[in-house]
Chain A
Amino acid sequence: MTAVLSTHGLVARYGDFQALYGVDVELHAGEAVALIGANGAGKSTFLRAVMGLLPVGRDMVRLDGEPVGGTSADRMVKRGVAIVPEGRRLFTGMSVEDNLKVAVDQAARLGAKGGWSIERLHRLFPILKEKAKTPVQSLSGGQQQMVAIGRALLCQPRVLLCDEISLGLAPKVIREIYAALPEIRGAGTAMILVEQDVGLAKEATDRLYCMLEGRVTLSGRSAEVTREAIGEAYFGAGHAVV
């Protein structure tokens, strides 16, 4: 079975600073994979590189086996990849409805088809219906995150990249957002979740990769990987999770 998304020796740099040193990750259809690691391990860089926001070699990223590395972000959307970016990056000054409509517009323009509509999104996150006319900058962090997830879903992705969707949110809100993930997966969307919270990551995914200093130091089934193994991979050899 070929992976829907795979990276092969993925290398990325910001100017002179090399952030990724040959990362191999595979994502199969309908699967959820977690990417964990400390700050600066290269998790967000990995997502940005996959999404076409950083220059990478053609063969380093494959979608359904086809090389797509370095394809611009808008064309990655056309090919069925969407991202919930770090920091949410909503369109400030526009209403919730207009933020979502931008994605609907572009999906229609690009001919991307899928099961997501604004109505279905409202069933998933009812608060977004209530706040439809509200400018996004007046929403709470959790509501903003829901808009960011909704905007990505309305791009009708086969692969959804989520960058720290729990960051800065209250535990109750995090649970609410994570409770939506099964339905998103149920729609046939495969996911890569970048997550700081190891417990949350293990629960929500089938497999996980742990990164350290731009390399994958551990991979395995989320249910089977031990805390000790993660601790070692997370901080480097010789450390342990207390």
Chain B
Amino acid sequence: MQWFDALVQGILLGGMYAQYALGMALMFGVMRIVNISHGDLVILLSLIGISMATAWGLGPLAVLAILVPLGLFMGWLLQKAVLNKVVGSDPLPSLIATFGLSIALQNLMLQIWSANSRSLPGGGIESRSVDIGGIYIGLLPVIVLVVAIALTWGLDLMLKKTRFGRALRAAAADVEAAAMTGINPRAVYALATAVAVGILGFAAVFQSLRSTVAPADGAAQLIYAFEAVIIGGMGSVWGAFIGSMVLGISQGIGFRIDPGFGVLAGHLVFLIVLATRPQGLFGKA
């Protein structure tokens, strides 16, 4: 029973990781950009949300309604102002640019919010739980998982069915051929990053509801997103979701073995996948 409980908790944790991983998978899949500032953007959005909630007494839903559009705009601006200038067949310039941005963002956040940990008041939702056959499941983690599934499904549907999605897939397959077909790659890239960071608006609200955030926390979020994307197979949306589940379950079971072993268990599974199946579980060789 306790292992089943660990599995359930792991899946719920995976829901949180999926919200980080989707945007990273999208950016990598379309532009071959590994956004090092991904985690810092979550923290930045979280801190903005917490400040707004504190200043204006907003509830989590209102904060979400502001952070998602704000994330969309920040992503669009990030691509237009920075990443479009460094994107290309060589992944190194964008890696360095986002690494620099990551450091700059952390210092900016320290300057504005200091190093204190904060969290978003959820009006009791964060501590409510339901008893299902002897297992207590937190209401918030369930909501996080449901939102993660909805986001993954929505993103997948968008890629498959919409004009923008087709343009994105075309640009991902062959950016020059996409331009020859009338696609403006830089405009498509700006929208892709907007969507990627917009999703982080969801992640930011849930992250700051379920635990505390501080300006230096971004690196940990980045590594989980990165691991989930690698485990699932780079550039695949459902792959990123499954990768997040694998990571979450590994950590859940690891925590049950020993509370100090949880995070390490996730890293070990990541290393095993990297060593035995470097293209990821759902990646093409």
Please report A residues at the B interface, Cβ cutoff 8 Å.
51, 53, 72-74, 77-78, 82-83, 85, 89-94, 98-99, 101-103, 105-110, 112, 151-152, 155
**How far apart sit A111 and B182, CA to CA, in the bound complex (Å)?**
11
**How far apart sit A200 and B179, CA to CA, in the bound complex (Å)?**
29
Q: Measured between C-beta atoms, what is the minimum distance from A102 to chain B in Å?
A: 5
Give the 8 A-B CB pairs with smallest separation, nearest first.
Answer: A106-B182, A77-B182, A89-B177, A73-B179, A91-B173, A105-B163, A91-B170, A74-B184
Interface: B156 (CB within 8 A): no
Interface residues of B in 162-214 (CB under 8 A from A): 163, 166-167, 169-170, 173-174, 176-185
Residues of chain B contacted by A108 (CB below 8 angstroms): 163
**How far apart sit A93 and B178, CA to CA, in the bound complex (Å)?**
14
**How far apart sit A115 and B177, CA to CA, in the bound complex (Å)?**
22
Residues of chain A contacted by B180 (CB below 8 angstroms): 51, 53, 73, 77, 82-83, 85, 89, 152
Residues of chain B contacted by A89 (CB below 8 angstroms): 174, 176-177, 180
Residues of chain B contacted by A92 (CB below 8 angstroms): 173-174
Find the residue from A53, A74, A103, A107 having the highest chain B CB count within 10 A.
A74
Q: Please tell me if the beta carbons of B182 and A107 are within 8 angstroms of each other in the complex.
A: yes
Q: Measured between C-beta atoms, what is the minimum distance from A167 to chain B in Å?
A: 16
> Number of residues in B with C-beta < 8 Å to the partner?
17
Q: Measured between C-beta atoms, what is the minimum distance from B159 to chain A in Å?
A: 10
Residues of chain B contacted by A53 (CB below 8 angstroms): 176, 179-180
Q: Please tell me if the beta carbons of B174 and A102 are within 8 angstroms of each other in the complex.
A: no
**How far apart sit A99 and B173, CA to CA, in the bound complex (Å)?**
11
Q: Measured between C-beta atoms, what is the minimum distance from A131 to chain B in Å?
A: 18
Contact partner of A102 (CB less than 8 A), chosen from B176, B181, B185, is B181
Residues of chain B contacted by A99 (CB below 8 angstroms): 170
Residues of chain B contacted by A98 (CB below 8 angstroms): 166, 169
Q: Measured between C-beta atoms, what is the minimum distance from B285 to chain A in Å?
A: 14
Q: Please tell me if the beta carbons of A102 and B166 are within 8 angstroms of each other in the complex.
A: yes
Main secondary structure of the interface of B (DSSP, over half): helix
Find the residue from A53, A72, A102 having the highest chain B CB count within 10 A.
A102
Q: Please tell me if the beta carbons of B179 and A102 are within 8 angstroms of each other in the complex.
A: no
Question: Beyond A53-B179, A101-B166, A102-B167: 19 further Cβ-contacts under 8 Å?
Answer: A73-B176, A74-B184, A77-B180, A85-B180, A89-B177, A91-B170, A94-B169, A94-B173, A102-B178, A102-B181, A103-B181, A105-B163, A106-B167, A106-B181, A107-B182, A108-B163, A109-B182, A112-B182, A155-B182
13 sampled A-B residue pairs with Cβ under 8 A: A53-B179, A74-B184, A89-B174, A90-B174, A90-B177, A91-B177, A94-B166, A98-B166, A102-B167, A105-B166, A105-B167, A108-B163, A155-B181
* CB nearest to A151 among chain B residues: B181
**How far apart sit A194 and B57, CA to CA, in the bound complex (Å)?**
67
Q: Measured between C-beta atoms, what is the minimum distance from B245 to chain A in Å?
A: 24
Q: Please tell me if the beta carbons of B183 and A74 are within 8 angstroms of each other in the complex.
A: yes
Q: Measured between C-beta atoms, what is the minimum distance from A139 to chain B in Å?
A: 15
* CB nearest to B179 among chain A residues: A73
* CB nearest to A101 among chain B residues: B166
Residues of chain A contacted by B167 (CB below 8 angstroms): 102, 105-106
Find the residue from B163, B174, B179 having the highest chain A CB count within 10 A.
B179
Q: Measured between C-beta atoms, what is the minimum distance from B189 to chain A in Å?
A: 13
Residues of chain A contacted by B179 (CB below 8 angstroms): 53, 72-74
**How far apart sit A53 and B177, CA to CA, in the bound complex (Å)?**
10
* CB nearest to B188 among chain A residues: A74
Q: Please tell me if the beta carbons of A77 and B166 are within 8 angstroms of each other in the complex.
A: no
Q: Please tell me if the beta carbons of A110 and B170 are within 8 angstroms of each other in the complex.
A: no
Contact partner of A78 (CB less than 8 A), chosen from B163, B166, B178, B182, is B182
Q: Measured between C-beta atoms, what is the minimum distance from B155 to chain A in Å?
A: 16
Interface residues of B in 107-124 (CB under 8 A from A): none
**How far apart sit A106 and B164, CA to CA, in the bound complex (Å)?**
10
Q: Measured between C-beta atoms, what is the minimum distance from B172 to chain A in Å?
A: 8
Interface residues of B in 64-115 (CB under 8 A from A): none
